Amino acid sequence: MLLNRLLLICSLIVLANSCKNSDQLDGSFQLSVTTDTASASIGDLITYKIITYNIGNKYFEIANRQFSEPLELRNSKLLYDKVNKVTGAEFIFSVWDTGMVTIPPITINLFNSDSVFDFAMATDSISIEVISIVDVTGDQNMKPIKGPIPIENVLQIRIFLLMILLSIILYGLYFIYGKRNKNIYDEVKVETNIDPADKIALNKLELLSKDSYDTKIKTKEFYIILSHILREYVENSVYIKSLEMTTEEISRNRDSFPFNKEEINRWLDILNRADLSKYAKSNPEKNICDDDLNAGKEFVINTASSWKVLND
């Protein structure tokens, strides 16, 4: 009776210790590997997973990712848990040889949360039988030859039509270009006015006298034309670019013109009144316009002898 009690007490102690060890084992780090198949044929894809349990705050790193033939790594990715923590890895292999193919052990290095190395653990190797596709189907006969594959036309109809359209456009451009006038001056004779500068100026002043300039707009146009005629006359007679000079520049360089003082003053008086009409909105009376027109004619007539003598 006493012996039975002792045996019962010892059994309870052993059972308690085993439960305690089981609880400790359930809380420790664990590592497992799985494959989706134990046999495959040549060219099949094999999924190989590394799964960790109770990793806690640690993180792991796969030490060796190199795989030798006949294994060929096609793809790899990390596996995450519900809180987006890395808990494993997945590899996709293919094999190109028959026989027993072994996926070698893979070393897993574990690190603490402070990046200090803790320990390393290697996975178990897994062997997979790879058989020929002929062994799977049991068909030893030669497969039928595939029929010819149609080849698209090298020159498609759409490209051919576009080339024809481009040729028509180019021909049209060439035809139009060939019909153009090579030189519009070949048929149009340019008439050159060989009259002297004073005659040209007097003719233009005579035409200006026939226009009506009894309004403010007409008066402004009148002085613009009058100023241009006199400047053009001076430029064509003594070859000083008075068309490009302001009235002030003409006044500063009056000694450069071969005219007497009285004629220079007459010319500048007309130019100043023209500037007032153009820029200061001055509106001289019609009799003043007539006087300036006559003064312009007198300026041309009186100064012609100076440059004609020089030209002779």
DSSP codes joined into one string, 253-308 = TGGGSSS-HHHHHHHHHHHHHHHHHHHS-----HHHHHHHHHHHHHHHHHHHHHHH
**Tally of residues, the chain:** 312
Q: What is the pLDDT of residues 222-234, one digit of tens each?
A: 889 989 999 999 9
- Report d(CA 223, CA 231) in Å as an integer: 12
- Strand 39-41 to strand 126-131: parallel, antiparallel, or no bridges (unpaired)? parallel
Q: What is the pLDDT of residues 109-158, one digit of tens each?
A: 888 878 788 888 888 888 888 887 655 555 556 656 666 777 666 567 77
78 within 8 A of 86, measured Cβ to Cβ: yes
| Region of residue 167 (left: phi > 0; alpha: psi -120 to 50; beta: else) | alpha
51 within 8 A of 31, measured Cβ to Cβ: yes
Instruction: Categorize the per-residue pLDDT at 62 as very low, low, confident or very high, splitting at 50, 70 and 90.
Output: confident
**Which of 21, 22, 32, 29 has its CA nearest to residue 112?**
29
Phi, psi of 181 (to 5 degrees): -75, 120
